[in-house]
């Protein structure tokens, strides 16, 4: 028997099994309506399509669209739940910190381990001799305004592609690897720092993106850090 005839024979055997199963279980389509929705029965009039067939086709398309929307909503809900849990862990860790070094360590650990952020840095403005020791970078206020004055004056979180000197100031030795940035100035009466996160993809952080998460973390730091900087 040729391979082609063998395939046809196998197909007939499979079809026979399907027919036998359907006859033995006449309520099959009632228990599995999703299968019935996918069946295609051509009209006997040839290429003509009856009104009922057309209506069924439209309903199938709408049903598929609704399922896709529902799946997208469920995916978004799951992502939001995960983001909420990560943010809760970070905020609790920041609130429990008793020293500036603990705040910075908790922030850096969360960004790297929970959020999988490739590049990040917390820059504090002031004199290294007057600020408590931590893994945050300390830079003079004048130098900061010369390098990232526009970011500091914005008074809000920003996303997008930055100039090379701005990247160098925020990320140091890894600046050339950063394609796009989200940054939030830190304020408590006056600007005292900036939190920056970066990604190799220039389109990852876009100016049209929302900055709710970064702004929220910045607000938490605005309330925790000043009492530990003295």
At 95-147, the pLDDT tens digits run 999 999 999 999 999 999 999 999 999 999 998 888 899 999 999 999 999 99
The DSSP-derived string for 102-159 is HHHHHHHHIIIIIS--SEEEEEEES-TTTSPP-SSEEE-HHHHHHHHHHHHHH-S-EE
Whether the CB-CB separation of 1 and 8 falls below 8 Å is answered with no
- What's the pLDDT at 6? 65
137: left (phi over 0), alpha (psi -120 to 50) or beta: beta
- What's the pLDDT at 216? 93
The DSSP-derived string for 50-65 is -HHHHHHHHHHHHHHH
Q: Please name the residues in contact with 60: beta carbons below 8 A apart, sequence gap of 6 or more.
A: 37, 38
pLDDT higher than 90, residue 194: yes
How far apart are alpha carbons 139 and 148 in whole angstroms?
Answer: 12
Superfamily of domain 99-229: GAF domain (3.30.450.40)
Token output for 9? 């024979």
pLDDT higher than 80, residue 41: no
**Which helix (H) or strand (E) is 72 found in, with range?**
helix 51-96
Q: Please name the residues in contact with 49: beta carbons below 8 A apart, sequence gap of 6 or more.
A: 43, 57
At 51-65, the pLDDT tens digits run 566 667 777 888 888
Please state the domain extents for the chain.
Answer: 1-30, 40-96, 99-229
Token output for 40? 């295609």
Identify the residue with better confidence: 212 or 136.
Answer: 136
- What's the pLDDT at 36? 61
Side-chain-facing half-sphere of 140: CA atoms under 13 Å: 3
């Amino acid at each position: 028997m040729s391979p082609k005839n063998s395939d046809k024979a196998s197909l007939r055997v499979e079809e026979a099994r399907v027919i036998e199963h359907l006859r033995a279980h006449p309520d099959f389509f009632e228990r599995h309506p999703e299968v019935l929705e996918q069946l295609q029965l051509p009209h006997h009039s040839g290429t003509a399509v009856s009104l009922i067939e057309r209506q069924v086709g439209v309903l199938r398309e709408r049903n598929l669209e609704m399922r896709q929307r529902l799946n997208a909503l469920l995916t978004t809900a799951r992502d939001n739940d995960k983001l909420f849990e990560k943010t809760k862990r970070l905020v609790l860790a920041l609130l429990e910190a008793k020293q500036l070094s603990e705040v910075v360590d908790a922030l850096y650990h969360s960004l790297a381990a929970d959020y999988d952020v490739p590049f990040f840095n917390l820059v504090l403005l002031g004199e290294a001799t007057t600020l408590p020791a931590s893994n945050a970078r300390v830079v003079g206020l004048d130098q900061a305004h010369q390098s990232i004055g526009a970011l500091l004056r914005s008074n809000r979180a920003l996303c997008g592609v930055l100039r090379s000197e701005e990247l160098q100031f925020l990320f140091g030795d890894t600046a050339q690897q950063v394609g796009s940035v989200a940054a939030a100035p830190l304020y408590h009466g006056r600007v005292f720092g900036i939190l920056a996160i970066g990604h190799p993809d220039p389109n990852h952080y876009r100016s049209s993106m929302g900055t709710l998460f970064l702004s929220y973390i910045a607000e938490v730091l605005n309330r925790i850090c000043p009492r530990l900087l003295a």
